[in-house]
Amino acid sequence: MARQGDTVAGRYLLGERIGYGGMGTVWRATDRTLNRQVAVKELRVTDEPSEDDRRVQADRALREARSAARIKHPNVVTLHDVIVGPDERPWLVMELVEGRSLGQLLSADGPLPPREAARVGAALASALGAAHARGVLHRDVKPANVLLERGTGRVVLTDFGIAQLPDGTALTVAGEFVGSPEYTAPERMTGEPATPACDMWSLGVLLYAAVTGRSPFRRDAIAAVLHAVLHAPVIPPPGTGRLGPVIGRLLERDAAARPAAPQAARLLASAASAPEPEPERPAPAAPDGPPAPPTAEAAAASRTVSTPSRPNTVPRPAAPRADTPSPDPTPSPSPALSVSPAPSPSLSSTSSTPPPTPAPAAPAPSSAPTPPPTPPPVPRRGSRVAGAVAAAVVLLAAGGTAGVLAAWHGGGGDRARGTPSDAAHPPGSGTAPAGFRYVHDAAGFALDVPDGFTRSPQPPRVFYLSAGQAFRLGIRRQKPDASGPYGVMTAEADAAAHPSGTPPYPGYRDGSVTRTTHAGQAAAQWEFTWNGFGDGPRRTYDLCWNRDGVMWDVWVSAPLDRLDDGLRYFDAATGSFTSNG
């Protein structure tokens, strides 16, 4: 490794070390020929590099040089020269950006105000747009690779060392994983090739980290990170004004639904010019418990809206259907059901669950501390992904991140956008995992219900409610509509966006309707956040599908601070659901 005072190529006098990472060391240096300050990057090599090591490092240097040289943009670092020394060690000479990285700033000063984060994001989106237009994919967008120039505030995207060039080549051997897992798009976790949409996902994670101080997928173990990227609910951080919905769109797990770089740049520029949002205030609790929902609820809930299906776009925040159960702290159990007791936990019931948290009913988020709730997820896939996570961990333990993609790619045809039905035991098995009971309901269905939940029929739904109604599980059956589940969900969301009376869900926000499948049938999932009836903010999940001449939907509502449990109940209910006419 070089030292301060060394001269590179007889021209660049090394000063202090100003950066260090997995790719190498960055030095402040003086260009003696032009008498200017520059940044010189010394790429890392092993102590006793083999011929292959030297080739890879030389290729990396040339790749970074060629990638940066293709892009002429004020928010992309300027490359001056590339040098290979007598010892075949590669060096890059770049413009010196006086300032700190975004990662250093967040670590030292904490999160950015939403408008400043949007300004940074707009500059990065513009830079990525220029790169994508030249056929360059960055593949490692993260706070450490973003510099903020002191005095001017200029945003500079750096480190194109693992970029992919237009010829399709990338500095990756077969099965090797490149990039930072918690900033990596879910489709890359499943072995799909990198696309511009992958960079946009990474930008979304970066923006989330910019306003909260951490990635929404940060966990203590790599297995938990991978699981979170594929499954963790991603709700835009509150109090971020116009920036929140943009983050939500960038973090769509359906890559085709993410905005391209030019559109994202426009959206972020608009968010940067908007007034700074005021902090959200929690809704005051009612003195005697949650009030009854508005009387218009029943009529809205029983209405089937017929609207032709539209392309899957991110909907406007909208008021939801009025399907919430009316407050009834002590609903009486219905006699018209039978219950199968839950079996004792066994190895087979948990063997497909991803470490570190065994979850018998469904793949559960990691037991590591969960960051603030974060943009609406698409339905989560189940045991096959769990097995892939376990395989990835074995490979990571053996040799770092290399080999992760090979394990994921060989895990079958599932995608991160799989159906919730994979998450529980086989439908109709008549058994339930620990903590649940298998219920045959007189309304013509059977499913896993969490222990302690009591039945409360409230047409058009049959509800199962936890003590105090912190968690609410509802099942509705109705006649199929010509527009299909997605058309019905979308039309109801749109209709609820402009309620004729008092909105049934106060503070409705962050709504989305997503196409998916369930039990082999076309399905749609509606998700949204709202303030609750005096009991604090909540997240609601509603899966709708047709089967045997009936349109079913399964609905779960949970407090925002207990989403892990809510998603576990939702996965168990949808995964075990069967109907009998």
Which strand (E) or helix (H) includes residue 545?
A: strand 538-547
Q: Whose CA is closest to 71, among 158, 170, 197?
A: 158
Angle (CA) 411 415 416, round 5°: 115
Distance CA 59, CA 43 (A): 11
To the question of whether residue 41 is assigned a binding role by annotation, the answer is yes
CB 449 within 8 A of CB 439: yes
Phi and psi of 126, rounded to 5°?
-65, -40
Distance CA 477, CA 489 (A): 14
Q: Whose CA is closest to 458, among 476, 485, 440?
A: 476
Distance CA 368, CA 250 (A): 25
Active-site residue, from 53, 140, 220, 328:
140
Cβ burial of 108 (10 Å; 0-12, 13-18, 19+) is exposed
Between the alpha carbon of residue 576 and those of residues 11, 429, 471, the distances in Å are 70, 8, 18
CB 264 within 8 A of CB 245: no
Q: Which residues contact 9 (CB under 8 A, 6 or more apart)?
A: 83, 85, 91
Residue type, 242: R
Residue 140 is a catalytic residue:
yes
Distance CA 184, CA 217 (A): 10
Would you list which residues are annotated within the binding site for ATP? Answer: 41
What are the catalytic residues?
Answer: 140
